[in-house]
Amino acid sequence: MNKKRHQGFTLLETLIAFFVLSIGLLGAVALQAKAKQASYDSLQRTAALSLAQDIIQRIRVNDTAALITLYDVDFTSDDEISTVQSCVDIFCTSAQIAAYDIIQWKKAIKAKDLTGVMTDATVCINPVLSSNGVAVQVVISWGGRQNITQNTENTAVQCGSSIENRRLVVVNSFIFIRTIT
């Protein structure tokens, strides 16, 4: 007598395999959501660092004695953008260059309307005169998507609002002042 053995999966084995597969897929979806959030946070931080470096470099180019008064400004992404003379292809004074720079930075933080980067951004530029030049601190503050716990150093920074989802980039630099003899 030759008995045939039935081979295959029972309904219970199939349900268990489906359940294990479902748990794995849910984990992958959660991982994808976290990766997308981290990517967005990285995009915001990159935009803020890029803007801070642009601010430092433009101030470094316009390194006159009036730097302290020209660039000691705070502005937000809600500020109105006025029209100033373009200093791209004509000669401008230091004050005109500073006004043009500030307008360009305001436009840069308003770009969030198109890209979603740096919502409710605030930029604070704090130049301080020292013996050989100017110490410049650029602080960029914006609202992230998720709340984070602020440490004591972050809460001490007085730029932007102190909301729970506040993100900060602080860049310090030193600029030597050119002396014309």
Q: pLDDT (tens digit, 9 = 90+) per residue, 92-101?
A: 888 999 999 9
Lowest mean pLDDT among 26-35, 81-90, 110-119, 144-153: 110-119
Mean pLDDT, the chain, rounded, equals 84
How much is the average pLDDT of 142-166? 78
Alpha helices, DSSP H, located in 62-156: 67-71, 94-110, 112-115, 152-156
Global pTM value:
0.77
Residue 4: inside a domain: no
Q: Are 92 and 85 in contact (CB under 8 A)?
A: yes
Residue 96, in any domain of the structure = yes
Please give the pLDDT value at position 33: 85
Answer yes or no: is 59 within a domain: yes
Number of domains in the chain: 1
Decide if pLDDT at 116 tops 70.
Answer: no
Segment 100-110 shows an average pLDDT of: 88
Q: Say what the pLDDT of residue 126 is.
A: 93
| Rama region for 102: left / alpha / beta (φ>0; ψ in -120 to 50; rest) | alpha
Domain housing 87: 11-176
Domain assignment present for residue 34? The answer is yes
pLDDT digits (tens, 9 = 90+) for 14-25: 889 899 999 999
Per-residue pLDDT for 114 more than 60?
Answer: no
Q: 104 lies in a domain?
A: yes
For residue 101, give Cα distances in angstroms to 5, 25, 32, 79.
83, 50, 39, 15
Task: Give tens-digit pLDDT for 20-61.
Answer: 999 999 988 888 888 888 888 888 888 889 999 999 999 998
pLDDT of amino acid 4: 64
Specify if 162 maps to a domain: yes
Mean pLDDT of 105-111: 82
Tell me whether residue 66 is in a domain: yes
Over 80: is that where the pLDDT of 82 sits? yes
Question: Is 181 a domain residue?
Answer: no
